[in-house]
Amino acid sequence: GAVVSQHPSRVICKSGTSVKIECRSLDFQATTMFWYRQFPKQSLMLMATSNEGSKATYEQGVEKDKFLINHASLTLSTLTVTSAHPEDSSFYICSVLTGYGYTFGSGTRLTVV
Amino acid sequence: DQQVKQNSPSLSVQEGRISILNCDYTNSMFDYFLWYKKYPAEGPTFLISISSIKDKNEDGRFTVFLNKSAKHLSLHIVPSQPGDSAVYFCAATPGAGSYQLTFGKGTKLSVIP
């Protein structure tokens, strides 16, 4: 299956700043990537579907102006949390769908202080 | 409203015994189900899946059972090993062109040596 690299694995930022999370598909050209968020003891919730070369599709309740997604190439999608607030602190995970199924990145633990 | 429910947040099993993890769903459009295993600070890794046209799928020590009429599936691990200790997520997708996964909240399995 595909290898998905996510960076950084952990980030702490100040309230009001922006944070960029990268998701790379190392051996598969991914036209579609998915971004999930997981709060403690909760399920992984799909935030948005990232489409290469076009706009991302956001799930209901997810602010597209706050969570900026860029999928400029077949191997890279980025999620930028803009003007971060403490309630944005969460575990963010990306996923790639290949012919073998879904492969997930290792996740990014974001803490906003 | 949770469409995929894992009602047991945790489960403890003695090494060598059978672990049974349960999952219920409410959306009758779901027709493909997956189980993922997740360690702390890592992304989920695929374990086993089942299509709605089947009622059982087996892979080594892991067997998934699907009861469509009851909208219930279960993951059996036998014999359980300490290395199986992790959080297990049940996920479902409608298939048919939809690639979105809906996850349950997970069940933390502890296998006691």
Chain B CB contacts of A36 under 8 Å are 103
Gap between the Cα atoms of A67 and A58, Å rounded:
9
Interface touch A103/B46, C-beta < 8 Å: yes
Gap between the Cα atoms of A111 and A39, Å rounded:
12
Interface touch A43/B41, C-beta < 8 Å: no
Gap between the Cα atoms of B78 and A89, Å rounded:
37
* B33: contact with A, CB 8 A cutoff: no
User: Nearest to residue B9, comparing CAs of B79, B110, B91, B83?
Assistant: B110
Choosing among B8, B89, B102, B103, which should be mutated to test the A contact, i.e. which has the most A CBs within 10 A?
A: B103
Render pLDDT for A14-38 as a digit per residue (tens, 0 to 9): 999 999 999 999 988 988 899 999 9
Per-residue pLDDT averaged across A39-63, rounded? 90
**What are the residues whose beta carbons fall under 8 Å from the beta carbon of A99, sequence distance 6 or more?**
none
Nearest to B42 among A1, A97, A106 (CB): A106
Gap between the Cα atoms of B25 and A28, Å rounded:
32
Interface touch B41/A41, C-beta < 8 Å: no
Q: What angle do CA A59, B75, B15 make, to 5 degrees?
A: 125
pLDDT at A27: 86
Nearest to A106 among B43, B99, B102 (CB): B43
* B89: contact with A, CB 8 A cutoff: yes
Render pLDDT for A61-112 as a digit per residue (tens, 0 to 9): 999 999 999 998 899 999 999 999 999 999 999 999 887 788 999 999 999 9
Residue of B nearest to A39 (CA): B105
Q: Tokens 């598969």 — which residue?
A: A28
| DSSP conformational letter for B18 | -
| DSSP conformational letter for A59 | P
How many angstroms from the chain centroid is the CA of residue A53? 16
Q: Mean pLDDT per 10-residue run, chain B (113 residues)?
A: 91 98 95 92 90 95 97 98 96 77 94 96
Gap between the Cα atoms of B63 and B42, Å rounded:
24
Gap between the Cα atoms of A50 and A32, Å rounded:
6
Interface touch B44/A34, C-beta < 8 Å: no
Interface touch B103/A106, C-beta < 8 Å: no
Chain A CB contacts of B105 under 8 Å are 41-43
Chain B CB contacts of A103 under 8 Å are 46
Gap between the Cα atoms of B112 and B12, Å rounded:
7
Identify any residues that bridge with B21 across adjacent strands, giving them in sequence order.
B75
Q: Tokens 């892991």 — which residue?
A: B62
Gap between the Cα atoms of B17 and B78, Å rounded:
6
- State both tokens at A8: 């950084």
How many beta carbons lie within 10 A of that of residue A33, not counting itself?
Answer: 28
pLDDT at A41: 81
